[in-house]
Amino acid sequence: RKRQRYVEKDGKCNVQHGNVRETYRYLTDIFTTLVDLKWRFSLLVFILAYAVTWLFFGLIWWFIAYCRGDLDHLEDHAWTPCVNNLNGFVSAFLFSIETETTIGYGHRVITDKCPEGIVLLLLQAILGSMVNAFMVGCMFVKISQPNKRAETLVFSSHAVVSLRDDRLCLMFRVGDLRDSHIVEASIRAKLIKSKQTQEGEFIPLDQTDLSVGFETGDDRLFLVSPLIISHEIDERSPFWDVSRHQLEKDDFEIVVILEGMVEATGMTCQARSSYLADEVLWGHRFTPLLSLEEGFYEVDYGGFHQTVPVPTPACSARQLAAAAARRDAHLYWSIPSRLDQQ
Q: What is the pLDDT along the chain (342 residues), one digit of tens a residue?
A: 567 888 888 888 888 877 777 777 777 778 888 888 888 998 999 999 999 999 999 999 999 999 988 888 888 888 888 888 888 999 999 999 988 887 877 788 888 888 999 999 999 999 999 999 988 888 888 887 777 778 889 999 999 999 998 889 999 999 998 888 888 899 999 999 988 888 888 988 889 999 998 888 889 999 999 999 999 999 999 999 999 999 888 889 999 999 998 887 778 888 999 999 999 999 999 999 988 888 888 999 999 999 999 999 999 889 988 887 887 666 655 555 543 455
How many CA atoms are closer than 13 Å to the CA of 1, on its beta-carbon side?
Answer: 3
Cβ burial, residue 307 (10 Å; 0-12/13-18/19+): buried
Nearest 10 degrees: Cα torsion 143, 146, 152, 157: -120
Task: Note whether 178 and 263 are within 8 A (CB).
Answer: no
Class of domain 23-144: mainly alpha
* Arch. (CATH architecture) of 148-326: Sandwich (2.60)
Q: How far apart are CA 268 and CA 260, in angstroms?
A: 6
Q: With CA atoms as reference, report the closest residue to 108 among 72, 75, 82.
A: 82
Query: CA 258, CA 171: separation in Å to the nearest integer?
Result: 15
Task: Render the burial of 325-342: b for 16+ CB within 10 Å, e for the rest.
Answer: eeeeeeeeeeeeeeeeee
Please give the DSSP secondary-structure letter assigned to residue 304: T
- Helices 89-101 + 39-68 axis angle, to 10: 120
Domain extents in the chain? 23-144, 148-326
